[in-house]
Protein backbone atom coordinates (compact mmCIF):
# COMPACT_ATOMS: atom_id res chain seq x y z
CA UNK A 1 0.00 0.00 0.00
CA UNK A 2 1.41 3.48 -0.86
CA UNK A 3 2.84 5.40 2.07
CA UNK A 4 0.30 8.22 1.61
CA UNK A 5 -2.57 5.76 2.07
CA UNK A 6 -0.90 4.20 5.09
CA UNK A 7 -0.76 7.64 6.68
CA UNK A 8 -4.49 8.05 6.06
CA UNK A 9 -5.21 4.90 8.08
CA UNK A 10 -2.65 5.71 10.77
CA UNK A 11 -3.53 6.27 14.42
CA UNK A 12 -1.62 9.59 14.62
CA UNK A 13 -3.90 11.07 11.97
CA UNK A 14 -7.17 9.45 13.04
CA UNK A 15 -6.65 10.39 16.69
CA UNK A 16 -5.28 13.85 16.01
CA UNK A 17 -7.50 16.28 17.94
CA UNK A 18 -7.88 18.63 14.99
CA UNK A 19 -8.95 15.73 12.79
CA UNK A 20 -11.36 14.49 15.48
CA UNK A 21 -12.88 17.96 15.75
CA UNK A 22 -13.26 18.09 11.98
CA UNK A 23 -15.07 14.75 12.01
CA UNK A 24 -17.21 15.91 14.91
CA UNK A 25 -18.31 19.04 13.04
CA UNK A 26 -18.98 17.12 9.82
CA UNK A 27 -21.01 14.46 11.63
CA UNK A 28 -22.91 17.02 13.70
CA UNK A 29 -23.86 19.03 10.61
CA UNK A 30 -24.77 15.83 8.77
CA UNK A 31 -26.97 14.77 11.67
CA UNK A 32 -28.84 18.08 11.64
CA UNK A 33 -29.24 17.90 7.86
CA UNK A 34 -30.49 14.32 8.18
CA UNK A 35 -33.20 15.23 10.67
CA UNK A 36 -34.26 18.14 8.47
CA UNK A 37 -34.35 15.76 5.47
CA UNK A 38 -36.69 13.49 7.46
CA UNK A 39 -38.86 16.46 8.45
CA UNK A 40 -41.89 15.64 6.31
CA UNK A 41 -41.87 11.98 7.31
CA UNK A 42 -41.49 12.88 10.97
CA UNK A 43 -44.50 15.20 10.68
CA UNK A 44 -46.51 12.52 8.89
CA UNK A 45 -45.62 9.92 11.51
CA UNK A 46 -46.51 12.31 14.31
CA UNK A 47 -49.90 12.96 12.73
CA UNK A 48 -50.82 9.42 11.75
CA UNK A 49 -49.04 7.05 14.16
CA UNK A 50 -48.70 6.60 17.91
CA UNK A 51 -46.09 8.99 19.30
CA UNK A 52 -43.57 6.26 20.25
CA UNK A 53 -43.01 5.23 16.62
CA UNK A 54 -41.40 8.55 15.74
CA UNK A 55 -38.19 7.40 17.45
CA UNK A 56 -37.77 4.72 14.78
CA UNK A 57 -38.25 6.98 11.75
CA UNK A 58 -34.88 8.76 11.24
CA UNK A 59 -32.35 5.95 10.73
CA UNK A 60 -29.17 7.45 9.23
CA UNK A 61 -29.31 10.70 11.28
CA UNK A 62 -29.63 8.69 14.48
CA UNK A 63 -26.62 6.61 13.41
CA UNK A 64 -24.55 9.74 12.79
CA UNK A 65 -25.82 11.17 16.10
CA UNK A 66 -24.42 8.13 17.92
CA UNK A 67 -21.11 8.55 16.09
CA UNK A 68 -20.99 12.25 16.91
CA UNK A 69 -21.47 11.38 20.59
CA UNK A 70 -18.81 8.65 20.36
CA UNK A 71 -16.31 11.20 19.06
CA UNK A 72 -16.82 13.21 22.25
CA UNK A 73 -15.61 10.22 24.28
CA UNK A 74 -12.42 10.23 22.21
CA UNK A 75 -11.99 13.98 22.49
CA UNK A 76 -12.72 14.14 26.22
CA UNK A 77 -11.81 10.81 27.88
CA UNK A 78 -12.93 10.69 31.49
CA UNK A 79 -10.23 10.47 34.13
CA UNK A 80 -12.46 8.42 36.41
CA UNK A 81 -14.57 5.83 34.67
CA UNK A 82 -17.27 4.36 36.84
CA UNK A 83 -19.47 1.44 35.87
CA UNK A 84 -22.31 3.61 34.56
CA UNK A 85 -19.93 5.70 32.45
CA UNK A 86 -18.30 2.59 30.97
CA UNK A 87 -21.67 1.01 30.17
CA UNK A 88 -23.04 4.19 28.59
CA UNK A 89 -19.91 4.79 26.54
CA UNK A 90 -19.78 1.17 25.40
CA UNK A 91 -23.38 1.12 24.18
CA UNK A 92 -23.09 4.49 22.40
CA UNK A 93 -19.87 3.42 20.69
CA UNK A 94 -21.32 0.07 19.62
CA UNK A 95 -24.40 1.81 18.24
CA UNK A 96 -22.18 4.38 16.52
CA UNK A 97 -20.13 1.79 14.67
CA UNK A 98 -22.87 -0.75 13.87
CA UNK A 99 -25.52 1.73 12.74
CA UNK A 100 -23.04 3.84 10.75
CA UNK A 101 -21.98 0.73 8.86
CA UNK A 102 -25.52 -0.54 8.35
CA UNK A 103 -27.23 2.66 7.28
CA UNK A 104 -24.24 3.84 5.28
CA UNK A 105 -24.53 0.73 3.12
CA UNK A 106 -28.34 0.66 3.18
CA UNK A 107 -28.81 4.20 1.87
CA UNK A 108 -26.36 3.67 -1.00
CA UNK A 109 -28.02 0.37 -1.88
CA UNK A 110 -31.48 1.97 -1.98
CA UNK A 111 -30.28 4.85 -4.15
CA UNK A 112 -28.77 2.54 -6.74
CA UNK A 113 -31.67 0.08 -6.52
CA UNK A 114 -33.97 2.95 -7.42
CA UNK A 115 -31.67 4.01 -10.26
CA UNK A 116 -31.62 0.44 -11.59
CA UNK A 117 -35.42 0.62 -11.90
CA UNK A 118 -35.49 3.97 -13.65
CA UNK A 119 -35.30 6.55 -10.88
CA UNK A 120 -33.32 9.55 -12.08
CA UNK A 121 -30.30 10.39 -9.94
CA UNK A 122 -29.73 14.05 -9.11
CA UNK A 123 -26.85 15.78 -7.38
CA UNK A 124 -28.41 15.26 -3.95
CA UNK A 125 -28.34 11.51 -4.54
CA UNK A 126 -24.61 11.61 -5.29
CA UNK A 127 -24.05 13.75 -2.20
CA UNK A 128 -25.92 11.16 -0.15
CA UNK A 129 -23.87 8.34 -1.70
CA UNK A 130 -20.60 10.01 -0.72
CA UNK A 131 -21.75 10.96 2.78
CA UNK A 132 -23.19 7.52 3.55
CA UNK A 133 -20.13 5.70 2.28
CA UNK A 134 -18.19 7.99 4.60
CA UNK A 135 -20.44 6.89 7.47
CA UNK A 136 -19.68 3.24 6.83
CA UNK A 137 -15.95 3.86 6.46
CA UNK A 138 -15.50 5.97 9.57
CA UNK A 139 -17.29 3.38 11.67
CA UNK A 140 -14.82 0.69 10.66
CA UNK A 141 -11.81 3.00 10.95
CA UNK A 142 -12.55 3.91 14.56
CA UNK A 143 -13.45 0.50 16.01
CA UNK A 144 -9.87 0.01 17.20
CA UNK A 145 -9.94 3.21 19.25
CA UNK A 146 -13.22 2.50 21.02
CA UNK A 147 -13.85 0.70 24.28
CA UNK A 148 -17.00 -1.33 23.60
CA UNK A 149 -17.06 -5.12 23.55
CA UNK A 150 -19.35 -8.00 22.68
CA UNK A 151 -22.05 -7.21 25.26
CA UNK A 152 -22.52 -3.68 23.95
CA UNK A 153 -22.52 -5.00 20.39
CA UNK A 154 -25.36 -7.37 21.33
CA UNK A 155 -27.33 -4.37 22.61
CA UNK A 156 -26.65 -2.49 19.36
CA UNK A 157 -27.69 -5.51 17.31
CA UNK A 158 -30.91 -5.81 19.30
CA UNK A 159 -31.65 -2.13 18.66
CA UNK A 160 -31.09 -2.48 14.92
CA UNK A 161 -33.36 -5.52 14.68
CA UNK A 162 -36.03 -3.82 16.78
CA UNK A 163 -35.81 -0.80 14.48
CA UNK A 164 -36.25 -3.09 11.47
CA UNK A 165 -39.26 -4.79 13.04
CA UNK A 166 -40.98 -1.49 13.82
CA UNK A 167 -40.09 0.02 10.43
CA UNK A 168 -41.62 -2.74 8.35
CA UNK A 169 -44.35 -3.86 10.74
CA UNK A 170 -45.81 -0.38 11.10
CA UNK A 171 -44.58 1.10 7.79
CA UNK A 172 -42.34 3.80 9.23
CA UNK A 173 -39.32 2.80 7.15
CA UNK A 174 -37.53 5.64 5.32
CA UNK A 175 -39.45 6.92 2.34
CA UNK A 176 -38.15 5.27 -0.80
CA UNK A 177 -38.10 6.12 -4.51
CA UNK A 178 -41.56 5.42 -5.95
CA UNK A 179 -40.13 2.73 -8.25
CA UNK A 180 -39.31 0.63 -5.16
CA UNK A 181 -42.79 0.63 -3.61
CA UNK A 182 -43.51 -2.83 -5.00
CA UNK A 183 -40.29 -4.22 -3.48
CA UNK A 184 -40.94 -3.52 0.20
CA UNK A 185 -40.94 -7.17 1.26
CA UNK A 186 -37.56 -7.74 -0.41
CA UNK A 187 -36.20 -4.50 1.08
CA UNK A 188 -37.35 -5.60 4.55
CA UNK A 189 -35.47 -8.89 4.18
CA UNK A 190 -32.41 -7.06 2.88
CA UNK A 191 -32.52 -4.60 5.80
CA UNK A 192 -32.76 -7.33 8.43
CA UNK A 193 -29.97 -9.27 6.74
CA UNK A 194 -27.87 -6.11 6.67
CA UNK A 195 -28.37 -5.66 10.41
CA UNK A 196 -27.04 -9.15 11.03
CA UNK A 197 -24.16 -8.76 8.56
CA UNK A 198 -23.18 -5.40 10.04
CA UNK A 199 -23.09 -6.93 13.52
CA UNK A 200 -20.93 -9.81 12.27
CA UNK A 201 -18.51 -7.42 10.53
CA UNK A 202 -18.17 -5.37 13.72
CA UNK A 203 -17.65 -8.58 15.72
CA UNK A 204 -14.81 -9.52 13.37
CA UNK A 205 -13.36 -6.04 13.80
CA UNK A 206 -13.43 -6.53 17.59
CA UNK A 207 -11.54 -9.80 17.20
CA UNK A 208 -8.92 -8.07 15.06
CA UNK A 209 -8.70 -5.24 17.60
CA UNK A 210 -8.07 -7.72 20.39
CA UNK A 211 -5.41 -9.50 18.34
CA UNK A 212 -3.61 -6.20 17.68
CA UNK A 213 -3.58 -5.30 21.35
CA UNK A 214 -2.19 -8.68 22.30
CA UNK A 215 0.66 -8.56 19.75
In order, the DSSP letters of 82-150 are -HHHHHHHHHHHHHHHHHHHHHHHHHHHHHHHHHHTTPPP-HHHHHHHHHHHHHHHHHHHTGGG----H
pLDDT in tens, 138-152: 999 999 999 999 999
Length of the chain: 215
pLDDT in tens, 19-67: 999 999 999 999 999 999 999 999 999 999 999 999 999 999 999 999 9
pLDDT in tens, 74-120: 999 877 778 898 999 999 999 999 999 999 999 999 999 999 998 88
Q: Sign of torsion, CA 109 112 118 121?
A: positive
CB atoms within 10 A of CB 58: 24
C-alpha 91/C-alpha 156 separation (Å) is 7
> Where does the pLDDT of residue 5 fall: very low under 50, low under 70, confident under 90, or very high at 90 and above?
very low
Q: What is the pLDDT of residue 8?
A: 55
Amino acid sequence: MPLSLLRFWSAPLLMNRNFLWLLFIVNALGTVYGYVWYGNQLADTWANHPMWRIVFVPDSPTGSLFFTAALLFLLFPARRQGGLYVALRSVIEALAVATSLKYGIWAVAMIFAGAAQGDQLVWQDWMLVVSHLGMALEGLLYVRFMAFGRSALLVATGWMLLNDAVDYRYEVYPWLPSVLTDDIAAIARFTIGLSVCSALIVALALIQRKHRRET
